[in-house]
Structure 1
Amino acid sequence: MTARAAGPWLAAAFVLAGCTTTVAGTSTPGDRAAGQGEVGCEWEAIDDLDPYLVDVDTPAGQVPASGTVTLELRTGTGEIPLALDRAGAPCAVASLVSLAEQGYFDGSTCHRETDVPGLQVLQCGDPTGTGRGGPSYRYPTQVDGSETYERGTVAMANAADGFDGSQFFLVWGDSRLPPSYTVVGRVDDAGLAVLDGIAAEGNDGSNGTGDGAPNTPVEIEAATVG
């Protein structure tokens, strides 16, 4: 538990494990360019000596702020299409798209599954598979206090420090979480069926009762922007 505490975790996981929860602060992206349908994003480089970081290019400084884009996760257990909402979280979506286009997620595992009441998710997006990995940059968490995490939600995990990286979670059962995690989109019904199959197999409990690595290994063979 101690070894992973520095990584992007869901705050509720610390409650379940008997640790202290810190709620991330509210952050917003830069001002929207008038009439441009774009928004400015702040990409902050982080310590390249951290062995859990993967060196990647940062996305553009100005990114689209309208429409949706599909990110399809092809896994060994089935395809999980994600509909990402640029208007709701333009910087987070731009980051996920950029990472996918660089092949960042290809060959990575979804390292965490939880099936406890109030927290039913599959967490992915860490190429190291440790729960501590991320890209060589970070950016502000984008929340306004109205976020909810019902079944089908896609949201960014964080370390309760006001910043996001690359780890995200897919909600397969309505989850009671504080509005501290950037909501980036939705999983469709076909993807939820795949998640249900993974959840049915449970996890190894390595993080505590009902929380650990999926018993059915989930590898993202390819993440494709469509």
Structure 2
Amino acid sequence: MASSKDRQRKLARAKLDRQMARRAAGLRRRRRIQAGVGAAAALLLIVVGSFWALGGFDRDPEEEQAGPPEVCTWTPQNAANNPSLKEVGTPSTTDVPTTGTRPMTITTNQGAPITVDLDLTNAPCAGASFAHLSGQGFFDNTTCHEITEEGALLCGDHSGTGAGGPSYTFFNENVPPAVSASPAPDAPPLYPAGTVAMMGTPPGANGSQFLIFFRDYTTAEPMYPIVGRVTAGQDVVDTIGKMETVDNGMGAKVKPATDVLIQSLTVGEVTTAPPAPDLTDAPPTASPSATGQS
């Protein structure tokens, strides 16, 4: 009969065998896992390398700079060294409506308000500038300082000197095409009465000064960009145009003898023309014969 010591040795041996077997199985599993991870890593390196070789990580410079396109360019002016200019910042270069119209209301001390439709389709930057300046009260309590020989009321200069404006300028938009020196008698005027146009100083460097025409005007070399049309209050503009003028202090008899004060100028929200009706699904119109009419 086996002694107790022999049984203990056998049990210990069996336990050791089981431990060795478990360790061997664990080692085989770790090796399989490591082999799988290594294969996956190698495959990933191959895929990434191929993607890189084919230019997958190359970025188009235009894509890196992608963003809303700039609609307007505002050229800064040094207001610190020019007392005729007023620091007002600049409007947005990208968030600019480019279709439809915006109503502009000019309230003066000369009668009913003058309302204008700003043309955003043909002069979006002028519309954006008027909205920006009116939001800061730039035009409030300023005078229309000149009645021009072209037949227009000149306003928008807070200094009243003809040299004033905001701390930026912008380029011309919507200047009428040049005409011959002797246009046909029945040719429409380039600037009909009621036209609202910018007046840059020098021409092409527009700021805040604008013209409201009370008389038709045509010139062989147009330079005023059209920005809108008067929709109400043209009679007020016509009355102002008939005012007596006095010397403006610079030797030109162009200043209204009675101050024409802009009490406020406001710009409303963008409005768009209603879309054309879709007639593709409209029922056909019955002809007289189809309805029994003769």
Give the TM-score band, short-chain normalised: 0.7 to 0.9
Per the alignment, residue 55 of structure 1 pairs with: 87
Identity of aligned residues (%): 40
Q: Could you say which structure has the greater relative contact order, defined with CA pairs below 8 angstroms and 6 or more residues apart?
A: 1
Relative to the length of structure 2, the TM-score reads 0.59
Shift of 1:162: 2.4
Shift of 1:161: 4.3
Whether the 8 Å contact between 1:134 and 1:167 is mirrored in structure 2 is yes
Shift of 1:164: 0.7
Relative to the length of structure 1, the TM-score reads 0.76
Per the alignment, residue 219 of structure 1 pairs with: 261
Q: Equivalents in 2 of 1:168, 1:126: separation in Å? A: 9
Q: Secondary structure at the match of 1:73?
A: strand
Cα deviation digits, residues 171-207 of structure 1 (max 9, x gap): 000112332111000012x321001111222311547
Per the alignment, residue 224 of structure 2 pairs with: 181
Q: Which runs of 5+ in 2 are unaligned?
A: 1-67, 179-189, 269-294
Whether the 8 Å contact between 1:145 and 1:179 is mirrored in structure 2 is yes
Q: Equivalents in 2 of 1:50, 1:57: separation in Å? A: 15
| Change beyond 3 A, Cα 1:221–1:145 | closer
| Change beyond 3 A, Cα 1:144–1:130 | closer
Shift of 1:225: 1.6
Q: Secondary structure at the match of 2:131?
A: helix
Greater Rg over alpha carbons, structure: 2
In terms of fraction of residues, the more strand-rich structure is 1
Find the partner of 1:194 among 236, 255, 259.
Answer: 236
Per the alignment, residue 70 of structure 1 pairs with: 103
Find the partner of 2:151 among 120, 141, 154.
Answer: 120
In terms of fraction of residues, the more helix-rich structure is 2
Write the mapping of 1:42-191 to structure 2, written as runs, cut at 5 A: 42-48=73-79, 49-62=81-94, 63-78=96-111, 79-114=113-148, 116=149, 119-143=150-174, 145-146=176-177, 148-177=190-219, 178-188=221-231, 190-191=232-233
Whether the 8 Å contact between 2:101 and 2:118 is mirrored in structure 1 is yes
Q: Secondary structure at the match of 1:96?
A: helix
Per the alignment, residue 28 of structure 2 pairs with: none
Q: Which runs of 5+ in 1 are unaligned?
A: 1-35
Q: Equivalents in 2 of 1:222, 1:113: separation in Å? A: 20
Shift of 1:169: 0.4
Per the alignment, residue 64 of structure 2 pairs with: none
Comparing 102-111 with 156-165, which one deviates more in the overlay?
156-165
